[in-house]
Structure 1
Amino acid sequence: MRDFGINLGSNLVADFGVLNAVRQLLAMQEDVRVAGASENIHMAVPPSMGLPLIVLELEEVWTSMALGKNSANTRLKVKASIFSRSPSGRESMDLSASVRQAMDGTVLSLKNGKKGMLRLAENVVERPAANRPRNVQQYYDVLIRV
């Protein structure tokens, strides 16, 4: 488990705290650095994109799931979109494999004592188009527990 030093006060802060923790996790990965994407991990599409690029987005939020002491109290769906320079798509496929390896099954230890478990839910590969970089979208479920 990695401690990312994020203080989660409210659910909204928790949601973006998880995105920030995921961004830090990916930026530390050697394969992501080698691909040149460690400085291009954003939570929104930047005005000027430098490729390769990873965009982290919050898709869905479920709260008030407290059924018991150790049950999840928040569930998030996070989308990681991976864009490459080349239209062939090989670069984005390789980078998406590195992202999946870094994120799937990882437990994020947050500053307030809560833990977030990342699980790959879905992987979508865009069809190739003429002279357009292929992108890969990965959807992760994040369960936040006490």
Structure 2
Amino acid sequence: MSSNLDALYRQVIMDHYKKPRNRGLLEDGSHTINMNNPTCGDRIQLTFKVEDGIVKDVRFEGEGCSISMSSASMMTQAIKGKRVEEAIRLSKIFSDMIQGKDYDDDIDLGDIEALQGVSKFPARIKCATLAWKAMEKGLTEEEQ
């Protein structure tokens, strides 16, 4: 990756960290999930509003490093308005990308691609995936 692209990705990550999208809790959420990463202390609470199999709204609260919080911000933007199955599929694609595996790149990941470089730092992968794992858990519990 070129240094210009690295700089752009860092800028995108910091933008989401300093100005998180969808931060807060939903008063009328249909489900809430709490997760944490005991290794580094990152924690997240997601609140979902799911209607007819579609993620109508999602918000997050939490604290953690810039990778963890910016990933949560990007994830909420990416899944809002998507069908539950699409959101879970996106989570699997993200997981492959963040682990440096081949992934389905037919989907435009938008800002999420900025986190691709995290795959070079194994200790930070859990930071980046925390919100996504919480989302998967929350949405699959929602279906039951």
Question: Which category of TM-score, normalised to the shorter sequence, fits these structures?
Answer: 0.3 to 0.5
Which structure carries more strand by proportion?
1
Normalising by structure 1, report the TM-score. Answer: 0.33
Which structure carries more helix by proportion?
2
